[in-house]
Amino acid sequence: MVVSKTAAPSAASSIPANEARRYEVTRADLPLSCPMPSMALWNSHPRVYLPIEETGWERCPYCGAVYVLKEE
């Protein structure tokens, strides 16, 4: 996962949920959910799964974050 606002987080740390408004994800991040598993859940909305495979992008209905599927 690449956050467009900041550099990609290390695997050992979690990033705050809903920190950026746009996220670039790869097929390795599927199935896609917002917040993503690497994000802290304690201060976020309930996890919702987003069907990004068909359109290549999705918007979270809770927080409005846009996820874009980046081809590798």
Q: What is the pLDDT of residues 18-58, one digit of tens each?
A: 778 999 999 999 999 999 998 888 788 999 999 999 999 99
DSSP single-letter state for residue 28: G
- What confidence score (pLDDT) does residue 4 get? 44
Domains of the chain, earliest start first: 14-72 (2.60.260)
Measuring CA to CA, how many Å separate 16 from each of 4, 43, 53? Answer: 14, 8, 25
pLDDT at position 11: 38
